[in-house]
Amino acid sequence: MALRAKGPADHDDEEDQGMATDQTPRVTVNGVVHDLVGTDPWTPALEWLRSIGLTGAKEGCAEGECGACSVMLARRDGEDRTRWAAVNSCLLPASALAGQEVVTSEGLGSPEALHPVQHEMAVRGGSQCGYCTPGFVCSMAAEFYRPDRAPSREDHGGEVGPNGFDLSAISGNLCRCTGYRPIRDAAYALGLPQTDDALASRLRSPGPAAAPVVVDGPTGSYVRPADLDEAIHLIQRHPDAVVVAGSTDWGVDVNLKGARAGLVIGIDHLADLRAVTRDAEHLEIGAALTLAELERGLAREIPLLETVLPLFASPLIRNSATIGGNLATGSPIGDLAPALLALGADVVLHGADGQRVVPLASFFTGYRRSVRGRDELIRAVRIPLPLGEVTGFHKIAKRRHDDISSVAVAVSLHVVDGTVQRARIGVGGVAATPLRATDAEASLEGQSWTRATAAAAGEVLREVGTPIDDHRASAAYRRAVLATALVRLHAQGASTAEVTR
């Protein structure tokens, strides 16, 4: 199997061929095994699925915002269990599905034997023009099979039904016919899976492994290396290669900008990038952990992340996007970087010359640029302990879910006997990079945590960055948001998250 790069010639095939298995790359879709041989490394999973006749999933926005392309993937949930995760198939490279299991809307049921989700959507009028319906059905089915979903009489503010169905699970799916009420009714009418439900039974066995693989296509190759060192070796030998994990950023470039690559290196399954370690001084989080995994497994240990992650894009994106990938893209308007800056996080970089640790506050050097070398990968994010007791996240956006921040302010304070001993403030949306507001931090430290202190520090925070006027907000409005963020935090209590629309 030849590893192909840009152009007609292979690059050092003899050495590269030994870096992955020579087994035929296959994927199981709706219980049927399909070959991926001949698939270009940039081909979206959506395009490939439609090419084999599974046309339920649609392209709507082509950037992961509408959910019309949703499908379900079987993901490992610990050592011996599986979790069904809904993802945007328009962003994920088809080759990344090698060795995996996919269920599309066609695989859930048939006209003669509807799946419970399909049945409730039909009888309650949840489908109007029908374009978005298959995507809704897949996202709803993933929530239908959520292992810890259970009926509850608790009041969740209208976001969770009496059957335990969390409506945020479909917050990444848009219905352009405005049929949300019947869709909600269908979601809340669902019972629990039956004991003979095959997709429910799949949860009780280990998820699919991700073996090393090479998928060759007409214009290039997708490679899933065996370990981190192998990935670094590939990057060194092929400096033009594109490295992807969840592909929620590069997938947009493929669809909207025509981005292509002769070699794509998939690192999302590397064990070296998925470890979580703790000691008395640090919590280290592997860079390839998805935001959904962080949300389920670690967020409660880190209250600031617990408030940020539910506001980050949508579950469809969080099921694929990784903590390392989010930082590597260097977006100045992301939500995660301000939170990690407020937590005083470091970035652990791994390259051919070994490992180095860089404070996140020094990581970004310009618009979508960083100190990361071309042959380095983010291995982990390291958060110092203990955490601040007073934390908050304030986000300005046009809508509550799945939207880009106009301004994001994250704060973490260590307060002892009413005095601020340590302050960390991360800000996004006011400069070409996410920023640490060090002057505002200094104005807080050593002061009593009072409204007057918060207001005075807010005047310092107002001057951070170089905000601009654009279609999301004016520079003056952004500065006004900065000026009031700390006062809001003081008024609202110790651990808060707020989205202003």
- Per the document, the length of the chain is 501
Domain range annotation of the chain = 24-208, 272-384, 390-500
Residue 499: the pLDDT is 47
Give the span between the Cα atoms of 417 and 440, in whole angstroms.
21
CATH number of 24-208: 3.10.20.30
Confidence category of residue 174, pLDDT binned at 50, 70, 90: very high
Instruction: Give the pLDDT mean for 404-408.
Output: 92
Percent of the chain residues topping a pLDDT of 70: 93
**Contact status, residue 273 vs residue 370, Cβ threshold 8 Å:** no
Give the span between the Cα atoms of 473 and 80, in whole angstroms.
48
- Kindly tell me the sign of the dihedral angle through the C-alpha atoms of 137, 140, 146, 151: negative
63-108 tens-digit pLDDT: 999 999 999 999 999 889 999 999 999 999 999 999 999 999 999 9
CATH number of 272-384: 3.30.465.10
Distances (CA, A) of 435 to 198, 298, 339, 364, 366: 49, 24, 11, 9, 11
Fold agreement between 272-384 and 390-500: no
Residue 92: the pLDDT is 98
195-221 tens-digit pLDDT: 999 999 999 999 999 999 999 999 999
Give the span between the Cα atoms of 315 and 143, in whole angstroms.
10
Residue 156: the pLDDT is 64
Number of other CB atoms surrounding residue 30 within 10 Å: 16
15-51 tens-digit pLDDT: 454 454 547 899 999 999 999 999 999 999 999 999 9
Confidence category of residue 2, pLDDT binned at 50, 70, 90: very low
**Structure tokens of 261?**
């690559």
Instruction: Give the pLDDT mean for 377-403.
Output: 91
Give the span between the Cα atoms of 223 and 215, in whole angstroms.
7
Residue 6: the pLDDT is 37
> With the CA atoms of 321, 288, 201 and 154 taken in that order, what torsion angle do they form, in degrees rounded to the nearest 10?
-60
Residue 157: the pLDDT is 65
Local structure of 70: helix, strand or coil: strand
341-373 tens-digit pLDDT: 999 999 999 999 999 999 999 999 999 999 999
Residue 231: the pLDDT is 97
Residue 495's DSSP bridge partners are: 391
CATH number of 390-500: 3.30.390.50
**Contact status, residue 116 vs residue 190, Cβ threshold 8 Å:** yes
User: Are β-strands 242-244 and 82-88 bridged in parallel, bridged antiparallel, or unpaired?
Assistant: unpaired
Residue 299: DSSP 8-state: G
Q: Which amino acid is at 298?
A: L
Task: Please confirm whether the linkage preceding 386 is cis (ω < 30° from 0).
Answer: yes
334-343 tens-digit pLDDT: 899 999 999 9
Q: How many helices (H) and strands (E) does the chain have?
A: 17, 21
Phi then psi for 342, rounded to 5 degrees? -65, -25
Res. 62: pLDDT tops 80: yes
Number of other CB atoms surrounding residue 191 within 10 Å: 10
452-481 tens-digit pLDDT: 999 999 999 999 999 999 988 999 999 999
Residue 403: the pLDDT is 81
Q: What is the mean pLDDT of the chain?
A: 92
**Contact status, residue 308 vs residue 335, Cβ threshold 8 Å:** yes
Instruction: Give the pLDDT mean for 151-164.
Output: 82
Residue 492: the pLDDT is 86
